[in-house]
Amino acid sequence: MKAANLFESIPSALPEELVEVLAESAGHTRIVRLVSRGHASPEGFWYDQQEHEWVALLSGSAVMSFEDPGSGEVRLVHLRPGDWIEIPARTRHRVESTSTEEPAVWLAVHWG
C-alpha cells in the first residue's frame, strides 16, 4: 500500500515542471501528479499524445490551448481549482501559462 498527500513534498524551487507517476497498471493506465510554477509548453510545441488524458487542476491557475483538427483554430481554456478536462488521444494541446505565486498542482490520468 502507498499513501501520500498531493500538496506535500513540493520543492520551493521548480526549475522544471515536477512530474511524478503515482500509480500505473502494466503500461495501460497511469495516474500522474504534475506541479508547475510559471511553466508553459515550449514555444511552438504541441502535445499530440496517442493516449487519452483526463486532467484536473487542484490548485493554482493555468491556461491551455487546444487546436481544432478540422479548422486548425486554437481555443484557449482558462482553468481554476476544481476544473477538469478530458483530452481525447491525438488532440493537439499545449500549456500556455501556469500561476507563479501558487503552484499549479495537477492530477492526470492517461489511458488507452
Q: How far apart are CA 44 and CA 61, in angstroms?
A: 21
Q: Whose grid coordinates read 499549479?
A: 104
pLDDT given for residue 14 in this prediction: 92
CA quadruple 81, 17, 44, 49: dihedral, nearest 10: -80
Whether the predicted pLDDT of 92 surpasses 90 = yes
Whether the per-residue pLDDT at 27 is higher than 80: the answer is no
Q: Which fold has domain 27-111?
A: Jelly Rolls (2.60.120)
Question: What pTM was computed for the model?
Answer: 0.92
The pLDDT tens digits for 41-81 are 999 999 999 999 999 999 999 999 999 988 989 999 999 99
Region 95-104: mean pLDDT is 97
